[in-house]
Amino acid sequence: MSEERPGLLDGAIWPAENTRLFGHEEAEAFLAQSYRSGKGHHAILIEGPEGIGKATLAFRFANHVLSYPDPETAPETIGDPHPDSAVSRQIVSGASHNLLHLARPVDEKTGKVKSAITVDEVRRAGKFFSQTSGTGNWRIVIIDPADDMNRNAANAILKILEEPPKRALFLVMSHAPGRLLPTIRSRCLPLKLSPLSDDALAAALDHLGISGEGGAVLAAAKGSVGEALKLLNYGGGEIIAAYGEVLSAEGPAARKAMHRLADALSGKESDTIFDFFVSHVGDDIMNRARVAAGEGQIAAAERLARLYSEITERLTISDAYNLDRKQTIISILSDIKQPGL
């Protein structure tokens, strides 16, 4: 993770600084035309899997709006931001009076990124609008992602969305929009982004200076630049292989494999690869449930679905109470290894 940009993956470009976007031409065209028409929605819910470019799209659109505050004179397409323009410099430095980026804050005591976007962060939006209300400029809030808001934060942002100020624009990111409050979703215009094609993903990785990795990485990354970086720079491929070893081993060999994997996932600075592991395990269980259901094995599918819910709940409790991560991982792997799963 970058020390200057908490949460930024090694090898990635901070979305506000990224001058290129790959694979989302239709979404960009829609935003540009909607804005130019003067009838654009005040809140846009940008949906899609993590790591496919949602935040980069949001910052590009924000740059476009702030560069061309009069919709009628705005270009018909969104061009690559010029890093030397005044608007770009202000956005990148965080000094723009017309753009507020809400994300999980850093805990001053621990120096780590907090687990949620808190209500105090959302209150910054209220202050932001009150301080800029007399300028007549566009005021843009990027929520990155809204999935990270706790209940109080979600209710606070809902109040602003219900009565938005004039010339206000909300760009709301979501990896899993079904988890958002229905009232928040109902006040946003959904814009769904799909995983990148292999060609777009390869081009995006080449833009990051990563090329020639072959089809194996592209297939495992599932159309996500973020997933590709975790595979390449965080040992994601080794974690997948180690998980496969746990599933295939039996007896003492299985226990040893569990402990090796748990040790790798519970060391210092392991949050990124742990999250990768959790996502991979969840995908594996749900894929197995779908296969079982498709083969008419309804009881097995239901057991797998229950296991998925139980693991999700256990991880939530472990995070909330700061329980020993290694023991949590071993417990999860032991449940997955139960006969009949």
Per the model's pLDDT, the better-predicted residue between 322 and 189 turns out to be 189
- As a residue count, the chain comes to 341
- What is the average pLDDT across 322-326? 93
Long-range contacts, stretch 284-288, CB < 8 angstroms, 24+ apart: 284/243, 285/311, 285/336, 288/341
Query: Is the torsion defined by CA of 178, 184, 186, 191 positive or negative?
Result: negative
Query: 270-305: buried (b, 16+ CB within 10 Å) or exposed (e) per residue?
Result: bebbbebbbbbbeebbeebbeebeeeeeeebbebbb
- What is the average pLDDT across 184-204? 97
My answer on whether omega of the bond before 81 falls inside 30° of 0, hence cis, is no
Residue 213 pLDDT grade (very low, low, confident, very high; cuts 50, 70, 90): low
pLDDT of residue 133: 65
pLDDT of residue 169: 97
pLDDT of 3 strictly over 60? no
Residue 212 pLDDT grade (very low, low, confident, very high; cuts 50, 70, 90): low
- What is the average pLDDT across 61-83? 96
pLDDT of 254 strictly over 90? yes
- What is the average pLDDT across 110-129? 90
- What is the average pLDDT across 151-170? 95
pLDDT of 211 strictly over 90? no
- What is the average pLDDT across 148-155? 96
- What is the average pLDDT across 30-56? 97
pLDDT of residue 269: 83
pLDDT of residue 1: 53
Phi-psi bin for 14: left (phi > 0), alpha (psi -120 to 50), beta?
Answer: beta
pLDDT of residue 99: 97
Tell me the per-residue pLDDT of 273-316, one tens digit each, with 9 for 90 and over.
Answer: 999 999 999 999 999 999 999 999 999 999 999 999 999 999 98
pLDDT of 4 strictly over 80? no
Report percent pLDDT > 70 for the chain: 97
Strand-by-strand arrangement of the 139-143 sheet: 99-102, 139-143, 168-174, 43-47, 189-192
Contact (CB, 8 A) for 141 and 171: yes
Q: What is the DSSP letter of 149?
A: B
Query: 234-249: buried (b, 16+ CB within 10 Å) or exposed (e) per residue?
Result: bbbeebbebbebbeee
pLDDT of residue 134: 64
pLDDT of residue 322: 86
Q: What is the DSSP letter of 147?
A: G
Q: Mean of the per-residue pLDDT values for the chain?
A: 93
pTM equals 0.92
Contact (CB, 8 A) for 115 and 32: no
User: CA-to-CA distance for 338 and 137, rounded, in angstroms?
Assistant: 59
- What is the average pLDDT across 72-86? 96
Where is average pLDDT lowest: 1-10, 43-52, 97-106, 215-224?
Answer: 1-10
